[in-house]
Structure formats: C-alpha cells, structure tokens
Structure 1
Amino acid sequence: MIKEPESGHRVRFMDCDPIGHLSNIRYFDYMLDAREDHCLENYQIDNFAQSKKTGRLWVALQNQIAYIKEVKFNQFVKISSKIIKFTDKTNTVEILMYNENKTIVHAVLWTTLIYFNLTTRKSEDQPEEFLNLFQNVCVDIPEELFEDRVMSLRSWNKQNLSKH
C-alpha cells in the first residue's frame, strides 16, 4: 500500500500571474486535484461517488498553506500527499509540491477534513474501513505544528540548494 502517492504536473501559462509565477490560488487547485487523483488511483476513494452512495463525504474544515519557493511558468512539478494524523471524525493531509527532481519544496498544504452527513448536516465518525486504511497509510512527521513544518522544509531547501 502506497503511503505517499505522487503525480506530476506542468505549470500552464493561464495559471500564472503577470510575472510568470504560479498564482497563489492555483497552488490549491493543483494540490487538491492531485490529492483527489491519489485517493482514487491508490485507495479507490471517490469523495463525490461516496456522497451519492452514502450521503456522507469529507469536507474541508481548515487549510494551511505556505508558499516556500516560487513556481514558474512551464515548470514541471511533482505533488505528493499523505495523511499525517486522524481522529474518529477528521483526518489531516499534507500535500507537498516539489520541483521535478524532488530536491526543492515549493509549497506545503495541510488540509483538515471532517466526515460529514449531508442529511443531518452534522459530522460523524468515519467508517471503520476508512479508519483502518488511515491507520495503514498514516505517515509520521517530526513536526506537530504547521509553522514548525514550514521552518523544517525551508531549512531542507537551503541544505539542498547549498549542495548545488
């Protein structure tokens, strides 16, 4: 079972600001689209189909993003995602956007999702099958706080840049 799936994407002109950098809001689109693909391809989880079948789905509760190093037009990026913590009702996913060689982190997104019942309009415990999956694929990271994670990734980038 893959704990940290990844995929690639080329940055398109229409997604960039006037100086040729990926627009801030497009980071979300690229990263969340990649996570949706990762879940479907690796875990056979389709949030939309899940909502139609069960009346329940995961909705975003909180997003935290840090733009660490700019991404430029026509650059190829790799995006990885992983669950870094979960509870009975929520899970937190870390999505990283790297350069093509995965030597530089461009951005980090932590998104916390809550399992939600569309009929009652309330959160619910996640089904046991998903909790078991999350237990198997959850990746421990050393940092507990988002700000600490960002500092670690910035430091990691500096170390990698000094090697080249």
Structure 2
Amino acid sequence: MKDQESAGELVKVPESKLFVRFQDCDPLGHLNNVRYFDYFLNAREEHTYKYYNLNLMELARQHRANWLVTNHHIAYLRPANLGAIIHIQTRIIHFDNTTIVIEGMMLNKDKTKLKSLLWTTMRYVSLETGRPTDHPDDIMNMLELLDVDEVMYDPDGFQTRIKQVTKELKSLED
C-alpha cells in the first residue's frame, strides 16, 4: 500500500468525483440503472489503485485467487441526471476468511443527498479450482486496516443503512 500510514491517516473511505455522461443516460436524461454498477465498480478499482497502490489483477496473479461478485444490493433513491457532478465513496464494511462486502455511496455535487447505495458481496475464489478459498494473511491484514468499523454490517440491514445515511446527511444540512 502507499505510504498513507506514514504520511498520515489511511483513507478508509476514498472518493471520486464524476460527471454523468450522455452515453450513460436513458431517454429521460437519468443515469441508466445498469450504468450505476459501472460507475461504482470503476470508482472502487480507481480507489484501490490510487489510495492503496493495489493492482487487483497483479494481486490475483500473485495469490492465484481473486474476488468474484456473488450479489449486489442496490437502491436508486434520486436520479443522477445528465451533466451532473456526483461523488462516489467506497468502503469495506465487512470481511471474513473468504468474503468481503463493499459499500458504495453515490452523492450529489454538494455531498448532501444520497442518490444511490450499493452493497456488493464478493467471494475470494481460487483461480485453479474455482472454489472459495481463504484470504492469505497479507490480505487479511490489509482488510483489517481498511474495514470501516463505524458501519455495523447486517446482511439483512440494507434498508436500515439507507435510513442511517439519509439521517446523517440531513443533520449536516441543519
């Protein structure tokens, strides 16, 4: 990982600022539902490289394993309109020996309104067997450093999390 630890605090919640492009929108000028996944996943890839100096394909080659998406849980709360500036934040909210859960938040330009919330669950899978495998020690150590303890993950708590984030953002407006 980059020298965030020595230069200061490790960035557990990295962020990207994006522009909603015409090619990604539906006829109403809203970001197409399928494109939300691209925006979130591309932002997370950028975050792992920019903030942690991790190339996920190199890491997969090194350990002969990689994360595969097992499910997404997404809420479309407000449209991301053509030409809008949005912010995407990502964070690890849960991990165990074989699984990670990444949370993605899409916010408006001022970061006061939640547009979308995504939970992506990924299983760590051996490239040789195609079966789940345990994270190696170096990855477990990295996940421990990056896990956001403030988010109390509950697999059935997605709607509760939406209410929590919305309430937190509303309190920032007051």
- Superposed pair shares fold, TM > 0.5: yes
**Aligned residue in 1 for 2:25:** 16
- Using the alignment, how far apart are the partners of 1:75 and 1:47 within structure 2? 29
Write the letter of the residue equivalent to 1:153.
V
**Aligned residue in 2 for 1:146:** 158
CA RMSD of aligned residues (A): 1.7
- 1:37 aligned to 43, 46, 51, which one? 46
Helix, strand or coil: the match of 1:133?
helix
After TM superposition, the score normalised by the length of structure 2 is: 0.86
2:106 aligned with 1:94: no
1:4 CA drift (Å): 0.4
Q: Which runs of 5+ in 1 are unaligned?
A: none
- 1:132 aligned to 141, 144, 164, which one? 141
1:51 CA drift (Å): 2.7
Helix, strand or coil: the match of 1:33?
helix
CA contact (8 A) 1:104 1:160 kept: no
Helix, strand or coil: the match of 2:26?
coil
Q: Which runs of 5+ in 2 are unaligned?
A: 1-9
- Using the alignment, how far apart are the partners of 2:136 and 2:162 within structure 1? 32
Write the letter of the residue equivalent to 1:151.
K
- Percent identical across equivalent pairs? 34
| Count of aligned pairs | 162
Write the letter of the residue equivalent to 2:48.
C
Q: CA offsets per residue over residues 14-65 of structure 1, 9 Å max, x none?
A: 1111111111011110011000110111122222222334321111111101
